[in-house]
Amino acid sequence: MKGEYLGELEELILLTVGILYKQAYGVAVMDEVERQTGRSLNISAVHAVLTRLEDKGLVSSKLGDPTNERGGRRKRIFLLTATGKRAIEEANALRNQLFNQIPKVALQFSI
């Protein structure tokens, strides 16, 4: 179902929103993703994902205070919600659980 499944980019951006705590808005998320992973995203893609995450209830948003930058436009600051936090945890747990089930021997590579 669309509402439950967390896509790869969505997970990445959800994590980034968590990292940037209280500083997460469009451009900042884009920059942080690029800094951390080297992936350069278009700002519109970031917006689309953020909107989708908000629709799914994984993040919440509020408008920040106006500044002189950005032509006086306010930023929309995104914050993790409890559901968002659980989603990250579940994704993490699932990953670890799967990773741990890989037999040791399959991970032993002799060079």
Partner 1 sequence: MHHPTPPKWADRFLCWYCRTDLLEEIQGDAYELYERQCKSKGKFRADLAFGWNVLRFFRWSNLKRRTSPYRPAMMYKNYFQVFKRNLLRQKAYAALNIFGLAIGLACFVLISLYIRDEMSFDRMHTKSDRIFRMHEILESEGVGERSASLPFPVAEALQVDFPDQVEQYVRFFNFQSPALAMSTIDHEKEFYESRAFFTDSTFFDVFDFNLITGSKATALDHTNSVIITQSMAKKYFGDTNPMGKYLVFQGEHNLLVTGVLEDVPQSTHFQFDFLISFSTLTHYYGTSWPGWYWNPCWTYLLLRNPSDAPVLEAKMPAFIRKYFPEEIINDVTLTLFPLADIHLQSNHDYEIQPNGSMSTLYIFGCVAFFVVLIAGINFINLSTARAIKRAKEVGMRKTLGSYKGQLITQFLFESVAVCALAAVVAVGIVIAALPFFNTFAEKDIPFSTLLDPFFVAVLILLPLVVGIFAGLYPAFVLSSFQPITALKSASSGEKGLMFRKVLVVVQFSLSIILLVGTGISMDQLMMLQKNDTGFQQENVIMIQTLRTPVAQTFEAIKAEFKSNKNVLEVTAVEDVLGAKHQVGNYSFDVMEKTRPIPRLNVRHDFLKTFDIPLVAGRDYSEEIYTDDSLALLVNEQLVKQMGWTNETAIGKSFNGRLNKQIVGVVKDFNFASRHQPIKPLVIDLNLNPRAFNLFIKYMAVRVSPDDMNSTISFLESKWEEQYPGWPFEYFFLDSSLESLYKAESKLSKITIIFSALSILVACLGLFGLSTHTVEQRKKEMSIRKVLGSSDAEIFLLFTKRFFVLILIAIVIAFPLAYVLMKQWLSTFAYQVDIDFVIFVLVGFAALGIAFATIAFQAWKATRTNPATVLKND
Q: Which residues contact partner 1 by CB under 8 A?
A: 25-27, 42-45, 47-48, 51, 63, 69-71, 73-76
Pairing between strand 59-63 and 76-80?
antiparallel
Tell me the Cα Rg of the chain: 17
Q: Give the shortest CB-107-to-partner 1 separation in angstroms.
A: 41
**C-beta closer to partner 1: residue 66 or 93:** 66
Q: Give the shortest CB-47-to-partner 1 separation in angstroms.
A: 6
Tokens of 85: 């936090």
Q: Give the shortest CB-69-to-partner 1 separation in angstroms.
A: 6
Spatial contact of 20 and 35, defined as CB atoms under 8 Å apart: no
**C-beta closer to partner 1: residue 52 or 91:** 52
Tokens of 51: 């909107």
Coil/strand/helix, residue 108: coil
